[in-house]
Chains A and B, each alone.
Chain A
Amino acid sequence: MAGYYARRALLGLSLVLGLTVVAYLLVYVAPGDPAYVWAGRPRGPRAAEAIELAARELGLDQPLYVQVASFVHRFLSGSWGTSIAFKRPVAEIVLRSFKATAELLLFSYLVSVPLGLSIGVFMALRRGSGIDLALKLSSSLLISVPRFWLAIIAVLALYILGLQPFGRVDPRYLVELREVTGFYLLDSLLMLRPDVFLDSLARLVPPALIVAAYPTFYIAKYVRFTLSERLYEDYVMEAVSLGVSRGTLVTRYALRGVIPAVLQLAGVNFVYSFVDAAVVEIVFMREGIGRVLVEGLLRSDYPLIVATFFVVSLVLIAVNSAVDVVQKRLDPRVRI
């Protein structure tokens, strides 16, 4: 067991290292002049100055091994340079935005995993019936709707209704909000301000439900499919023949093997929910990774984008590793 964790941790560390190498390549092997790209493709009278500054920051005049060493050191210690768009340290902006996106994503998954699981079980047990067909078709349809478009339609509908749930919290509250965790739902509770909590919740729910649409119905369809297969497994049939009751059969026999698979699926699809979160944030004008990318793209803010890439990939690697470990723990057949 300990051996497995050690190996998994080692793999995780080596992936972080590999990620740093990829980041290095992105920065130093830029086509054309790396300093020019790092400086944000400057134009105008002060361009030469900015490029020179970037070259010095990257250490382009130094020998290669010094470049690599200083890059790795800087990247792993979190000094990622100054954002061109925001004129503030990249680390600060990326972490702040990341927390905003994480709040949205966590909320979405807290809704979608249990909901998807329940809908899936319901469909599998009633497979072939009218309600199953209707649920299956609507799941397929909801998966087909691009989340950014769904968000636009939702915003339009809310706009027509006179509601504007934009941003993370009413700007009025922003001054008084003390950021302890960076999750506004938690911060407002810590401040004992139910009004702030409700306000930020009201602004969180519409985008979160849109982001949740994909994992919910994807999981539902997957559970329907997998559970339907499991219901004919030898060991389920055996339990049926021994007169085990329906509830026990479904939960302890058929569903037991499905849950680790659902976790893994959720882990794999987390990457794509991240993309959804970014675009939905843009539509709802929320702070977050989506906005960082938009600003970064507008101003060719390369340090910001590379740092975002690094942080987001890091978190996704961590999520994948965690899912791996949990999945192994749930299966007694795997000797770890």
Chain B
Amino acid sequence: MVLAPGNRTAVLAEALSLGYEDLGAVFWAVREVDLELPRGGSLCIVGESGSGKTTLGNALAGLIPPYVRTAGRLVVEGVEVVRGSRIAGASKIRGRVVTRIPQNPAASLNPYLRIEEMFYDVLRDSREIKSRGEAREEAVKLLSLVGLDEGVLHMYPHELSGGMSQRVAIALALAPRPSIIVADEPTSNLDAYLRGYIVRLIGNLNRKLGVSLVTITHDISIVEIACEDMAVMFFGEIVERGPVRDVLGKPLHPYTSELIEATTLKRAGLRYGEQTSGCAYYARCPYGDEECLRPPPPARLGGGREVRCWRLAR
């Protein structure tokens, strides 16, 4: 694909909304999100389950199934993927310039195929490697990047342990030589020891191979290891974003503080947000007042930080 000269942006989202339609009504899982990831940058999207981060990650990876409604604009490596309700370039980017490390690698590997077959399918269709021997060599190289030997090639997915299938999934994601990788909850099914190993491995894809990286996680402890920038998502909206060190060091949005410090909740019970016209976090926010019934404007601060909260808008 042809890149515009001087294009230094890997991912650009402008007021991007993604929703699911059911019986005519649309549930917007991602609402008016603005994102910008420079080439070679790394971004963590943090949020609790149900915050829409997986839907967003899938869209960045070009996975926009027909039941997803869209609005706004999404550009990945110069290809316009979403423009309003039109989804145009998704098939041009997925498996070419961007790949995804799936959330549940054990279920994401075809149970009927040996690992070797999967590599062959991917290499043949993304990189025109037609010969099985060549594909095999390439697969061995990819596996060694994630610390696995070629014995894995003969195995079926159910014969792999959790950590091994996670690493196979990473090697598969590298196979098409993408310039962007989206890692969706890469550590959710792993024990503490493996978690550190996998996070470093994924972080190194960015630092050593220069791949632009989007990591999606609910685990705030891995953010520092994996990324330079972070965005905090709550109920489909990005409430705060900025460099990891700044956001973690001085959180400005009450939800970010909640994530970091596990603040005691003012109102009883953990609640999801509601699709209201005002601030989605209002129902859970310890500082909420009448003003929060109107949507908070994004407050742009210096140093690439942005927060959506009335307390900072004032």
Contact = CB atoms under 8 A, between A and B. Distances in A.
Interface of A: 232-235, 237-245, 248, 252-253, 256-257, 331-333
Contact of B110 (A241, A253, A331): A253
Contact of A234 (B102, B126, B175): B102
Contacts of B189: none
12 contacts: A235-B110, A240-B63, A240-B94, A241-B94, A242-B122, A242-B172, A242-B173, A243-B122, A244-B95, A252-B117, A256-B110, A331-B111
Given A243-B126, A332-B158, A333-B156, A238 B121 contact: no
Nearest to B106: A234
A248 B126 CA distance: 12
A327 to B, nearest CB: 13
B122 A244 contact: yes
Nearest to A236: B110
Interface of B: 58, 61-63, 65, 94-96, 99-100, 102, 104, 107-113, 117-118, 121-122, 125-126, 156, 158, 169, 172-173, 175-176
Contacts of B61: 241
Given A238-B100, A238-B169, A252-B113, 8 more contacts: A239-B121, A241-B61, A242-B173, A242-B175, A243-B122, A243-B125, A252-B121, A257-B111
A238 B63 CA distance: 9
B107 A242 contact: no
Nearest to B96: A243
Contacts of B156: 332-333
B108 A235 contact: yes
Contact of A242 (B58, B65, B104, B126): B126
Given A239-B121, A241-B99, A243-B126, A234 B108 contact: yes
Contacts of B62: 241
Contacts of B126: 242-243
Contacts of B118: 239
A139 to B, nearest CB: 23
Nearest to A127: B66
B157 to A, nearest CB: 8
Contact of A248 (B100, B104, B121): B121
A235 B125 contact: no
A332 B154 CA distance: 12
A247 B126 CA distance: 14
B281 to A, nearest CB: 30
Given A240-B94, A243-B122, A333-B158, A235 B99 contact: no
A77 B260 CA distance: 80
A262 to B, nearest CB: 14
Contacts of A331: 111-112
A253 B111 CA distance: 9
A331 B62 CA distance: 31
Contacts of A232: 65
Contacts of B169: 238
Contacts of B108: 234-235, 237-238
B92 to A, nearest CB: 10
Q: Lowest 6 CB-CB distances: which A-B pairs, in order?
A: A243-B95, A238-B108, A256-B112, A234-B107, A241-B100, A243-B126
Contacts of A240: 63, 94-95
B1 to A, nearest CB: 13
A243 B109 contact: no
A234, A235, A241 — most chain B CB neighbours (10 Å): A241
Contacts of B125: 243-245, 248
Nearest to B107: A234
A245 B126 CA distance: 9
A96 B125 CA distance: 54
B155 to A, nearest CB: 10
A69 to B, nearest CB: 49
